[in-house]
């Protein structure tokens, strides 16, 4: 792998996290316009599959999976499907803010599991960065923990665990090309998206997307590009490094909501956002030695 790959991976991860942050805000706008979340999920998966098939023809990429990565691709697809199912379902039982805080515990899960999965050494610096980011996320989201249904808590934590699994699986798929990975993952996700839509009674014709065309375009586009960047990033950097970078996602969502939804950020949230940014900068500085160009010796 090129010595510049880790640096590029960090940039792709930042871009992906930022796009995901925009995506959730416009998903809210689309919902207010009458377009349900499950409907958006179904059509964005169908769009992703269509784009992948077009890309396969245009750039002549194979959809084959490296033999030694077939099981890992299966794990990646199943974890992505479980992630969507659990996170969407959790907010039926607990407030969105509480679900978000529990869900964004996944960077911590990644770091804690990394010694077993990736053989990463847990240094005091790395643990401190994760704690800093986690505290910042809690401050940004600002949940009100009260009258909580255990089912929502389990589902939200299940989504966090599925996300950690997704990151580890994606980081291990370095031989299968990006187009093939995206295709097979979404082919596995599609039945789950259809099941959720049918179960909730929110499966609709494509005409429903016209109720909020700009918001739908932003949320679908944010997801498509965000997922592409995520797969590219996780092929270049460790799951641990990426997990910390993705802590920027709720901060981007909070800032975007000010301009798009007219929401406001209180001083506590502002401090929390600063802590998350500080953790990300510290993580990038920690990763820089790995991304530094190799200097030939005499």
Radius of gyration of the chain (CA): 19
Of 88-92, 159-163, 217-221, minimum mean pLDDT range = 88-92
pLDDT recorded at residue 204: 79
| Closest C-alpha among 15, 39, 17 to residue 27 | 39
pLDDT recorded at residue 132: 82
pLDDT in tens, 10-46: 889 899 988 988 887 787 788 788 887 777 888 888 8
Which residues neighbour 248 within 8 Å (Cβ) at sequence distance 6 or greater?
A: 14, 17, 18, 21, 276, 277, 280
Residue 116 has pLDDT above 60, yes or no: yes
Rounded distance between C-alpha atoms, residue 81 and residue 294, angstroms: 39
pLDDT recorded at residue 3: 52
Average pLDDT over residues 203-220: 86
Average pLDDT over residues 273-297: 61
Higher pLDDT, 77 or 278: 77
Dig out the tokens for 280 from the structure. Answer: 């990300």
Average pLDDT over residues 95-100: 66
pLDDT in tens, 132-154: 877 877 776 665 555 667 788 88
What is this structure's pTM? 0.73
Which residues neighbour 78 within 8 Å (Cβ) at sequence distance 6 or greater?
A: 188
Residue 252 has pLDDT above 50, yes or no: yes
């Amino acid at each position: 792998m090129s010595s510049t790959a880790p640096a590029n991976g960090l940039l792709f991860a930042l871009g992906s996290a930022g796009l995901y942050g925009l995506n959730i805000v416009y998903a809210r706008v689309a919902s207010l316009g009458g377009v349900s979340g499950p409907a958006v999920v179904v059509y964005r998966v169908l769009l992703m599959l269509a784009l992948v098939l077009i890309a396969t023809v245009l750039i002549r990429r194979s959809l084959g999976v490296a033999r030694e990565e077939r099981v890992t691709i299966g794990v990646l697809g199943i974890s992505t499907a479980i992630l969507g199912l659990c996170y969407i379902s959790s907010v039926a039982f607990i407030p969105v803010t509480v679900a978000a805080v529990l869900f964004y515990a996944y960077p911590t899960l990644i770091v804690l599991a990394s010694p077993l999965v990736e053989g990463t050494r847990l240094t005091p610096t790395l643990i401190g960065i994760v704690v800093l980011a986690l505290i910042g996320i809690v401050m940004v989201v600002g949940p009100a923990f009260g009258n909580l249904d255990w089912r929502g808590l389990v589902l939200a934590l299940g989504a966090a665990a599925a996300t950690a699994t997704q990151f580890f699986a994606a980081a291990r798929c370095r031989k299968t090309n990006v187009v093939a990975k995206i295709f097979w993952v979404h082919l596995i996700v599609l039945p789950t998206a259809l099941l959720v839509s049918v179960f909730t009674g929110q499966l609709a014709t494509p005409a429903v997307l016209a109720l909020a065309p700009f918001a739908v375009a932003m949320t679908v586009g944010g997801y498509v590009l965000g997922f592409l960047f995520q797969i590219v990033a996780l092929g270049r950097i460790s799951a641990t490094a990426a997990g910390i970078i993705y802590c920027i996602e709720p901060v981007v969502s909070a800032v975007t909501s000010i301009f798009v939804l007219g929401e406001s950020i209180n001083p506590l949230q502002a401090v929390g956002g600063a802590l998350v940014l500080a953790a990300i900068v510290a993580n990038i500085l920690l990763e820089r030695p790995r991304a530094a160009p190799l200097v030939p010796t005499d």
